[in-house]
């Protein structure tokens, strides 16, 4: 493929990524959204994070429930640090430390 084809592919991908983010922002920026919708939208990041993390924490390669996995063992104290401190940086450091510690002993 030549350079123009790559450039067209990258431009198309950029447009496909940018438009779904820009259109709701433009359409809703001049309107006032109801409080229930704002509350609902606040829950989306937590739901996405849960959907990404839970299968990896509870199921291994066999897709069976494995409670002794280091990832699951490290998740509980990391979650406690996140709830207590509300600090992303401290939570990441605590999670890395807990995962390292769980890997040493389990």
Q: Give the CA diameter of the chain.
A: 55
Helix residue ranges, H only, 1-106: 3-28, 35-42, 44-58, 70-85, 88-105
pLDDT of residue 56: 81
Other residues' Cβ atoms within 10 Å of the Cβ of residue 16: 9
Residue 88: both structure tokens together: 């992303």
The phi and psi torsions of 65 (rounded to 5 degrees) equal -65, 120
> For the whole prediction, is pTM greater than 0.85?
no
**Per-residue pLDDT tens over the stretch 10-68:** 999 999 999 999 998 898 888 898 999 989 989 998 899 889 888 888 776 777 777 78
**Nearest-10 crossing angle of helices 44-58, 70-85:** 150
């Amino acid at each position: 493929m030549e350079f123009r084809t790559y450039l067209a592919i990258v431009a198309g991908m950029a447009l496909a990524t940018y438009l779904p983010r820009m259109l709701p922002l433009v359409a809703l920026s001049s309107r006032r959204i109801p409080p229930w919708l704002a509350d609902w939208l606040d829950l989306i990041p937590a739901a996405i994070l849960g959907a990404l993390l839970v299968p990896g924490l509870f199921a291994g390669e066999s897709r069976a429930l494995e409670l002794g996995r280091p990832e699951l063992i490290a998740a509980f104290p990391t979650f406690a640090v996140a709830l207590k401190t509300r600090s992303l940086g401290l939570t990441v450091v605590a999670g890395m430390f807990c995962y390292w510690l769980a890997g040493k002993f389990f």
